[in-house]
Amino acid sequence: MILSVMKISMCIMCISILVMLIASLISKKTFMDREKSSPFECGFDPKSSARMPFSIQFFLIAIIFLIFDVEITLLIPFIMLMKISNLMIYFWSLTFFLLILLLGLYHEWNQGALNWLI
């Protein structure tokens, strides 16, 4: 019984994928004008190249922010666990995790990665 339901659902899924692929091939628009191929679609001609180099410092700041942001979101389950249970292992693991975060922040600051001057 379950096997037949799985076979039917797989067939429906394959048919729907084929229908979507055929529909995308049929409705594909290949009309590309000068404005669509330009880097800015606002109608203005760019005054300079769209591939201008940018400072790697901004990229590093974004990566550091992303890393610390993900690590901060990892703290939420620890806080919820500490509300539910009174085990001290959660407190010490959270303290150790925050210590690692602060050491990483200090290292980035000490290396000069957080300097905004270019």
CA distances from 96 to 3, 4, 33, 70, 90 (A): 49, 52, 58, 17, 10
pLDDT in tens, the chain (118 residues): 777 888 999 999 999 999 999 998 888 766 666 666 666 666 566 666 666 777 777 888 888 888 888 888 888 887 787 778 878 888 888 889 889 988 988 998 898 877 765 5
Global confidence as pTM? 0.46
19 within some domain: no
Cβ contacts of residue 112 below 8 Å, gap of 6+? Answer: none
CA-wise closest residue to 50 among 66, 61, 62, 38: 38
Residue 93's Cβ-count burial label (10 Å; 0-12, 13-18, 19+) is middle
59 within some domain: yes
118 within some domain: yes
CA-wise closest residue to 116 among 75, 69, 78, 60: 60
112 within some domain: yes
- Domain span including residue 108: 55-118
66 within some domain: yes
110 within some domain: yes
103 within some domain: yes
- Total number of domains in the chain: 1
